[in-house]
A and B are shown apart, each in its own frame.
Chain A
Amino acid sequence: MSKPLILAVGVILTAGILTGGLNWNKQRRLAATIQDHLLPPPSSKGLHSELGYRIAELNKRTTEGPNRIESLAELSSLYHANGYLSRAWQNYRILIELDDKNPLWPYRLATIVSSFGHLDDSVALYRNAIKLDSEYIPAHIHLGDALLKLNRYDQAQRTYQSAYDKDPSNPFALFGLARVALTQDDTKIAQRLLESARRSNKRIGGDLLAEVYESLGEMSKARALLHDVTWSSHIDIPDPWLDDLVSVCYDSFEVAMAGGKAGRRGNTTRAIELLKKAISLDPLDQNAHNHLAETYVAQGDLNQARLAYEACIKVSPTFDRGWAGLISVELKSGDQSRASQVIDQAIVKCPNSYVINNYKGEDLIKKTLFREAIPFFETSVRAAPEKAVGYNYLARAYLNLGENGKALKYLQRALKTEPSNPLSIKLITIFYVLAEDTAQARAFLRKAVLSPRISEEDIAQLQAMFDEKFKR
């Protein structure tokens, strides 16, 4: 063999051995890093059996197998999805070290860290995630939120702006920019931004916008907004890097939570998928059955809603919300006779439920059996003395019986219980108009005007009644 050939073979051999050695060393480092930092698995006591098996299996593959990073990633998701946040946190730390080009790890860790309020730490992690994938808008929004809560308004503004630049209709970017504007007392700019946010998504910004309108003296706009806004209207930003974790969640409550969130965002199809999953994890969960039924109602699918409510009362025959839902479906379907049958079944199972007693009383009122309805409404107010609804029903029953004194007494009790109950306010206004008590009628009409929960149409009707009676 010639000398150059020997040399070439030597170089190739050396390069091969070096490469192999480096790889081997990398694997050793990888194994050692995982070994040194992985937290022990949680106790298997009380765990869903499949979850327990997967955790055990993945812990093994993470420390022994050939695909350790993939296994660690899977284990991290499993921990994160199932509420083992400290373990997920630790695993993401390891993954950031071993798989440093993947934005998912710093992002997910950032969301846990900033959830606990370690905002300074989270800023570095969010920035790392954005460096690795600058197109993922939720990372910009969360970073903006963290900076805002650190009182770093200029940086927050720039961060929200970067999300806005990528998507000028992003309601979360607009909302963040509005919050920054409010810290600078720039109410007019905040108003414009919040109005834009609400144009993009009606569930964003309504709460702050109402305050802004009121502070600017635009009371009619505030009133209209508050009438329109759904209570607790705020929704989280859709976040696939986190939302997808629910696919490996074994906790029926958490899955139902995710379903509820999807429903709030208006994605009832996804909500139904998740609620079905929650039920498959815990078939006896009456609340999940009920929630599924309500979501079908929201979709307008009364047949599926009926089936879901029937499943609900099958697993929990004394669960009054399930019965109430089923009754409402029959009423919505226009089948009064079937509704009456269901009400009679429900009252046997839930004799002390305020809602079922109200349905029973209402059913009797429809049959003009006013006197017979009263005991059911009396049971209702005993069961739920903090709610106006039973008193309202009693007032209506007594009005129908011509016993106005009693009717007034119950309307007053309704308003003592819930001073802003819209039906109570409307009924008592009408009562005083008919009783020709100008002062009281005017006072309650004024209360109605001030209450955003009463529609403009209803107020116009009340005003017309008032005018007709007193301004002739």
Chain B
Amino acid sequence: MNLLSHTAILSALLLAMFQPSCALPEVVLDSPPPPITRAEVDLERYTRKAIGKKPEGVPWIAHVRAFDLNQDGLMDAIGCEAKHDEVIWLRQEGNGQFTEVLLASNMQAPVHAEISDLDEDGDLDVLVSCMNVVFPNNDKIGTLIALENDGSENFTKRILLEGVERVNDAKVQDMDSDGDLDLIVGQFGYDQGEVRWMENVGPWQYESHSLLQLSGLINVCVDDFNGDRYPDIAAQFSQQWEEIHLFENDGTGNFTSKIIWGSTNHDFASSGMTVADLNQDGMPDIVFANGDGFGPTLKPGPRPWHGLQWLKNTGDGNFNYNRIGDLAGAYSPVVRDIDQDGDQDVLSVSAFNDWSNSESDSLVWFRNDEDQGFTKVTLAHEPIQLLTIDFADFDGDGVGEIISGCFPSAPPFERINRFAIWKERTSR
């Protein structure tokens, strides 16, 4: 190679290298991108009205469920007051007026109520999960109680299960295709817990079948998750497990289990789960929250990973995970078409937040952009320490209302109420 050609090559190289306008190819990062929460505030969307009795002291409304209990065409609600051991019926009298009726007292810290015609006599009974002691306790003190309706909304207590780890949730479904209603029960316990189904073997008689012994069960949900036409069970576990298990039913009450989601963060703080066809593809998806605020400090509080997510059902009992958005202290996910635009949105509350900041989220709507992209819309900053909500058309105008319940578990005990109805402003 002569000097000339050498210089020529060098020049060409230098030109190529030092050409400032020469764009570098964009580097594509191999790993998956992070979820980003888009956020808005709309404090004007709803007006709030307290219903039921005025609080005396600090209420512990652990659960509220919208349901027309007396089937008079007016939407009512059932509430669990865990501190005073009461199951409450918020009976609607029309025109948005509610009367608080004590359905049952001495209910051993009720934390969840389901409404179903358990004895199939044509009226609605109430199935109540009772922890007996709400805060940490590993003793076998859990109870499952049915409130049997005599047809005139007089209720008789029947204990269906007792002396077990604290019962957190129970659902009703025919699990063995024999035409009667069985029960699916979740026991949070503390260091020990369990999920079981209780086979209906006669009037108010049940035989228990254990599915898994694991502590920290938050919710059980029942649906045909794998598309074989038989009801399956999904169970959400918190504590150090942070997993969702699926129990696939062969139609006769035999189950095969697997984990369908898990976090390796022992403080992920799973706090609630519901089933809904979020993407409206005909298959039931799972929407769940993580926002429990208790940890190794003396006061509960928010963590940066708290929020909402959904497991997209991809068929045959398989799911994939999608983050919906961040929400400190997220609890009680509810899936409905909030803005009547044809897609499914998600409502949630913050049970644990930085309440010294008056702008901390309390009630939040995750608005669906039709393609399961969500924008977080803060609807309210108070009342604080809401633990439970439901959504239904209480006034029959075709637009749903939110009903909320408050469970302040730590100071500040201010800006709180018991139950409230949130109605969308008519001017919208």
Quick one: which of B354-388 are within 8 Å of A by CB?
354, 357
Further contacts, 4 of them, CB under 8 A, given A17-B10, A36-B26, A234-B240: A10-B6, A86-B35, A150-B262, A321-B298
Give 10 A-B contacts (CB < 8 Å), ordered by A residue: A22-B17, A86-B36, A113-B31, A115-B268, A116-B323, A117-B261, A121-B32, A259-B297, A290-B298, A386-B134
A207 at the interface (CB under 8 A from B): yes
Complex CA distance for A385 and B383, rounded to whole angstroms: 24
Q: How large is the interface on B (under 10, 10 to 19, 20 to 34, 35 or more residues)?
A: 35 or more
B336 at the interface (CB under 8 A from A): no
Q: How large is the interface on A (under 10, 10 to 19, 20 to 34, 35 or more residues)?
A: 35 or more
Give every chain A residue within 8 A of B137 (Cβ-Cβ): 231, 418, 420
Complex CA distance for A253 and B303, rounded to whole angstroms: 9
Return the contact of A116 from the options B31, B109, B134, B263 (Cβ within 8 A): B263
A260 at the interface (CB under 8 A from B): yes
B301 at the interface (CB under 8 A from A): yes
Q: Mark A204-218, 1 if CB is under 8 A from B, else 0.
A: 001100110001000
Interface contact A21-B264, CB-CB below 8 Å? no
**Closest approach, in angstroms, between the C-beta of B316 and any C-beta of chain A?**
14
Complex CA distance for A214 and B321, rounded to whole angstroms: 35
A453 at the interface (CB under 8 A from B): yes
Complex CA distance for A207 and B191, rounded to whole angstroms: 5
Chain B interface: which of A24-32, A57-65, A356-364, A397-405? A24-32
Given A85-B304, A211-B192 in contact, is the A33-B264 Cβ separation under 8 Å?
no
Complex CA distance for A28 and B32, rounded to whole angstroms: 24
A270 at the interface (CB under 8 A from B): no
**Closest approach, in angstroms, between the C-beta of A116 and any C-beta of chain B?**
6
Interface contact A115-B27, CB-CB below 8 Å? no
Given A21-B13, A257-B295, A386-B83 in contact, is the A115-B32 Cβ separation under 8 Å?
no
Complex CA distance for A46 and B6, rounded to whole angstroms: 62
The 8 A-B residue pairs whose C-beta atoms are closest, nearest first, are: A260-B296, A149-B262, A83-B304, A115-B265, A89-B34, A420-B139, A86-B34, A207-B191
Complex CA distance for A27 and B58, rounded to whole angstroms: 61
Complex CA distance for A211 and B321, rounded to whole angstroms: 30
Give every chain A residue within 8 A of B134 (Cβ-Cβ): 386
Complex CA distance for A93 and B304, rounded to whole angstroms: 19
A72 at the interface (CB under 8 A from B): no
Give every chain A residue within 8 A of B35 (Cβ-Cβ): 86, 116
Complex CA distance for A119 and B262, rounded to whole angstroms: 8
A419 at the interface (CB under 8 A from B): yes
Return the contact of B17 from the options A21, A37, A150, A453 (Cβ within 8 A): A21
Tell me what chain A mostly uses at the interface: helix, strand, loop, or mixed: helix
B133 at the interface (CB under 8 A from A): yes
Interface contact A232-B18, CB-CB below 8 Å? no
Q: Mark B266-299, 1 if CB is under 8 A from A, else 0.
A: 1010000000000000000000000000011111
B332 at the interface (CB under 8 A from A): no
Give every chain A residue within 8 A of B187 (Cβ-Cβ): none
Give every chain B residue within 8 A of A419 (Cβ-Cβ): 108, 132, 139, 141
Interface contact A25-B17, CB-CB below 8 Å? yes
Q: Which residues of A pack against B, CB within 8 Å?
A: 6-7, 10, 14, 17-18, 21-22, 24-25, 28-29, 32-33, 36-37, 39, 46, 83-87, 89-90, 92-94, 96-97, 109, 111-119, 121-122, 124-125, 142, 145-146, 148-151, 206-207, 210-211, 215, 226, 229, 231-234, 236, 253, 256-257, 259-261, 263-264, 287, 290-291, 294, 321, 385-386, 416, 418-420, 451-453
**Closest approach, in angstroms, between the C-beta of A139 and any C-beta of chain B?**
11
Given A151-B259, A263-B296 in contact, is the A236-B266 Cβ separation under 8 Å?
yes
**Closest approach, in angstroms, between the C-beta of A173 and any C-beta of chain B?**
15
**Closest approach, in angstroms, between the C-beta of B36 and any C-beta of chain A?**
6
Return the contact of A257 from the options B36, B261, B296 (Cβ within 8 A): B296
B46 at the interface (CB under 8 A from A): no
Quick one: which of B8-63 are within 8 Å of A by CB?
10, 13-14, 17-18, 24, 26-27, 29-37, 60
Complex CA distance for A22 and B17, rounded to whole angstroms: 8
**Closest approach, in angstroms, between the C-beta of A197 and any C-beta of chain B?**
13
B213 at the interface (CB under 8 A from A): yes
Interface contact A97-B297, CB-CB below 8 Å? no
